[in-house]
Structure 1
Amino acid sequence: MPVLPALEGSTFNEDIRDRHLLYDYAAQDAQGNPEKWRYEMWFYNEDRIVYAIHGGPMAGRKNFQAATYQCIRPGELWQCNWLEETGTICSLVYDIPNKRITTLLGFSKGHWTESEAAHGDKRNPEDLARWRKLAKIGESQADRVLLSEQADILEDFRGAGDLSPIEMSWPCL
């Protein structure tokens, strides 16, 4: 998938490639109490992202996906988008100077209402098969839960950290 504008001549390598972020969403639990939802994102290369979720209803999820990247403002703002096997659509904007993540997630009904079933690791065939079934729950693809959140970046470094590298030959949507 292409980097927009084209990778050649862009600031992708300096801004995004191999960048690893640990960030917290200031969210609320089901009773409205404040809680932190910790996420970990590794912008693996121009075609893939690798991530883990450590807090909130999706805690315990490890995944990698094909992704598209758009440069909004070189050295400052990048957008990363992907589609998951659960049917969830994800869009993340990385604000480099302000150390913020802004996301819009279009959770499939199955992913949201069966969040425990969305846990696991995509590398495990049973988890992946269960996730694909989640995409089929609901009356149509319009049956989604939209979630808009912002997060503060706690750590910013290069490399895998505690996440496992992937093989480019592994299938993604």
Structure 2
Amino acid sequence: MPVLPSLESTTFDADLRDRHLIYDYAAQDEHGNPEKWRYEMWFYNEDRINYAIHGGPMAGRVNFQTATYQCIRPGELWQCNWLEETGTICSLVYDISNSRITTLLGFSKGHWEQAEAAHGDKRNPQDLERWRGLARLGIQTDRKLLSEQANIVWDFRGPGDLKPIEMDWPTL
């Protein structure tokens, strides 16, 4: 049985609930030229995240997922972790004080090598089924680890342009 951190007696409501961040990674294209990879994350509630990717190889991906949250320092640092249908493991640390996101992504072989197939919206059954197929490519150790930091461009409350989700919709 997994041990999950309790959010009881934390500053989750003030720090994260319904918080929406839009942030840019300073990355490089395949030729080494600078480019921005824009991501959008909505910390929906204590059980879910809702996000969209607007730049980089994963641009065009819209998803929501069950997440676990862990308070590192109240009012300053939070960690959010989730597993995607593609088999990709995601870990994000939100540094409130410095307006920074630090991530470690363990892309599945299918997701990394077939990034175009990982695009789409989870609400579309064909996209979801294709994503699940990506998770079956390779073995667990066939992963691309990507450690990056991003600067937060916008920080606000509410859905912004992301579509709300229903809590009874299935996730991993």
TM interval, short-chain normalised:
over 0.9
Q: Distance in 2 between matches of 1:2 and 1:41?
A: 25
Alignment deviations for residues 3-34 of structure 1 (CA, whole Å, 9 cap, x no partner):
73x22211000001000000000011111111
Aligned to 2:118: 118
Is 1:153 matched up with 2:152? yes
Q: Distance in 2 between matches of 1:78 and 1:7?
A: 11
Aligned to 1:105: 105
Aligned to 1:54: 54
Q: Distance in 1 between matches of 2:11 and 2:27?
A: 32
Q: Distance in 1 between matches of 2:3 and 2:80?
A: 11
Query: Given residue 46 of structure 1, which amino acid in structure 2 is its aligned partner?
Result: E
Report deviation, 1:38. Answer: 0.1
Alignment deviations for residues 117-165 of structure 1 (CA, whole Å, 9 cap, x no partner):
0000000000000000000111x11100000000000000000000000
Aligned to 2:141: 142
1:142 aligns to what SS in structure 2? coil
RMSD: 1.2
- Structure 2: 5+ residue runs without aligned partners? none
Q: TM-score, normalised by structure 2?
A: 0.97
1:132 aligns to what SS in structure 2? helix
> Structure 1 stretches (4+) deviating beyond 6 angstroms?
none
Equivalent pair of 2:7/2:69 in contact (CA under 8 Å): no
Report deviation, 1:2. Answer: 8.4
Is 1:78 matched up with 2:87? no
Equivalent pair of 1:2/1:68 in contact (CA under 8 Å): no
Q: Distance in 2 between matches of 1:77 and 1:9?
A: 15
Q: Distance in 2 between matches of 1:77 and 1:7?
A: 14
Aligned to 2:166: 167
Equivalent pair of 2:7/2:70 in contact (CA under 8 Å): no
Count of equivalent residues: 171
Percentage of identical aligned residues: 79
